[in-house]
Amino acid sequence: MSGSMDGVDAEAKDRAMDAAPVGIVLSDPSIQDNPLVYVNETFSEITGYHPEEILGRNCRFLQGEETDPVMVDQIRSAIDAEEPVTVELLNYRTDGEAFWNEVTIAPVTGPDDELIHFVGFQMDVTDRKEAELALEARTEQLEHVVDRLNGLLFDITEELMHARSREETERVICDRITDTDRYAFAWVGEVSPVDGTVTPTNWSGVVDGLESVTIEGPGAAILAEALEQDTLVTSDNPTGLGGTAAISAVAVCPLGYRRQRYGVLVIGATSPDAFDDPEGAVIEAMGRTISTAIHAAQTRRSLTSSSQVVATFTVRDTTFIPLRFAHEASSSLNFEGAVERRDGSSALFFTTEGAFDRLNAAVDAIEALDDLVEVRTFDEQRLIEVIESSPSTLGWFAQLGANLTSLECTPDHARLQLHLAPDVDGRGVVEEIKARYTPIELVSYTTENRPPTRQADFISELEEVLTDRQQLVLKRAYLSGFYDQHRQITGEEIATSIGISRSTFHQHRRAAERKLIEAFLRPTIPVDD
């Protein structure tokens, strides 16, 4: 290091070095072992050594048992080469306390470029270094956890691919989760839509008292919260959830696919931090994977079932939103279809002869309805789209395992038909609907045989690959007559009615049409003999 400070006297330089906020030392390489010949006050404050204990000694006296020899060799090599160097060393104060020292050493040359001193700068960087080391340790720990959990998720996903029924799916889940020492037990339970009872259907590990699990008893809060919020909930109290005294943490993960609810996955662990992030996030991902597998098993069962339950009701309770809409608008409505949206709301399509101003006023008067769009007018009727906010009527039916297939509303009553999933408790669903709407009459409850089909029923699976927006665009375009031979509406008009640009409308339309064509033509679809 060389330079000039013309105009600054030697006394000013000395005062600057003495008062500097970093430790400064000078060593003399012309003396054997390159001892220190100057130290400032800050260096003494950092190390705890008085100047008389330091001068005449090589600076290595700050090193100790855990000082990294690689860093020491790096300093030694730089000094031998008369080159500057900066390293971070674990040094020790006079009382034996360790601290992290950022050391910078540089050569000082004289007028003829001869080496006359080495100058050293020291900074106590313990706080920063310990934070960095803690972060590194946390990162390493998280990487280990993620690797383990990803392995678990991969194993479960692979095994679920081969499960052919819901019972087999649940058994695979519970057995694989408890294969690891991390989790003490796992069980899957179905939730009755009628009385809220949680019925364990499969479990593995050491569990206690599962026969008494309900959302009314012990453990009610965590079960209810998970189901209501549709998110993973954890607790340190396993009471009522099958836990023993050895269990320190329990997680409840709701299982569901779109609006269909399949129950809960409950996992118990002996470690209190078992479900901290990222573990909790992976458990949620596992829940989504499991839900998809259960849905696939249920779909296979539904498609191969030769019968289905059809329930028909007459409703006069105006808390039934479609009926209230017809009542407020003094108009009859005929249900043409719906699109369930990911936020829990539904886009409902009706044909009606009602005046638009009355329909619009009815929407404004009903808190559960958000928007009204006139999609198309033809003859003396108009096709309208109404948005029912979350939780929507269709979403509630779906949670029960019921699909609305027909609905006609007059201002004073509604007649609706529901198709019930083959695996649901049909009588229980009926009682739940009757408890929600009064007055209501069950007009018919029949089991309809349907011929075994394979090729045609694949269409229902398209809902799994079409996004909400793609479904909405297709439904709006079809009902508006966009696909009619003599088209009387443009893509731009439909896009405006939805509130999107023309290019976005056509982008969604083309993507949806491509999925439809792929589904129809893909060679993996079974073909009837």
pLDDT tens string 324-347: 999 999 999 999 888 877 777 899
The rounded Cα 60 to chain-centroid distance in angstroms is 53
Give the pLDDT confidence score for residue 337 in this predicted structure: 86
| Extended strands (E) in 208-331 | 233-235, 249-257, 260-269, 307-315
C-alpha distances (whole Å) from 308 to each of 78, 355, 419, 421, 432 are 84, 38, 7, 7, 19
Work out whether strand 402-409 and strand 414-420 pair parallel, antiparallel, or are unpaired: antiparallel
Q: Domain 144-303: give its CATH superfamily.
A: GAF domain (3.30.450.40)
Q: Is the model more confident about 452 or about 372?
A: 372
Instruction: State the chain's maximal CA–CA distance in angstroms.
Output: 111
* Three-class SS state of 414: strand
Q: Distance between CA atoms of 158 and 117, rounded to whole angstroms?
A: 68
Give the pLDDT confidence score for residue 345 in this predicted structure: 87
pLDDT-derived band at 528 (thresholds 50, 70, 90) equals very low
pLDDT-derived band at 321 (thresholds 50, 70, 90) equals very high
Tell me which of 94-98, 269-273, 339-343 is least confident.
339-343
Question: Looking at the domain that runs over 10-124, which CATH code has it been given?
Answer: 3.30.450.20
- The residues spanned by each domain of the chain are 10-124, 144-303, 307-521
Show the tokens assigned to 213: 């699990």
pLDDT above 90: percentage of residues in the chain: 36
Tell me which of 213-227, 318-332, 444-458 is least confident.
444-458
Give the orientation angle of helix 468-479 with respect to helix 502-521, to 10 degrees.
100
Domains 10-124 and 144-303 belong to one CATH topology: yes
Residue 43, pLDDT above cutoff 90? yes
Q: Distance between CA atoms of 279 and 317, rounded to whole angstroms?
A: 46
Max avg pLDDT among 74-78, 162-166, 182-186, 400-404: 74-78
pLDDT-derived band at 146 (thresholds 50, 70, 90) equals low
Q: In what order do the strands lie in the sheet with 402-409?
A: 369-378, 381-388, 346-352, 333-340, 402-409, 414-420, 307-315, 440-449
Max avg pLDDT among 320-334, 399-413, 487-501: 320-334
C-alpha distances (whole Å) from 342 to each of 32, 145, 326, 393 are 78, 31, 26, 14
**C-alpha dihedral sign at 298, 303, 307, 308:** positive
pLDDT-derived band at 409 (thresholds 50, 70, 90) equals very high
Residues ≥6 apart with Cβ < 8 Å to 517: none
Mean pLDDT of 389-401: 86
Give the pLDDT confidence score for residue 136 in this predicted structure: 81
Tell me which of 25-39, 115-129, 184-198, 383-397 is least confident.
184-198
Give the pLDDT confidence score for residue 215 in this predicted structure: 54
Residues ≥6 apart with Cβ < 8 Å to 518: none
Q: What is the overall mean pLDDT for the chain?
A: 82
Tell me which of 54-68, 421-435, 499-513 is least confident.
421-435
The strand pairing partners of 446, in sequence order, are 310
Tell me which of 2-11, 157-166, 214-223 is least confident.
2-11
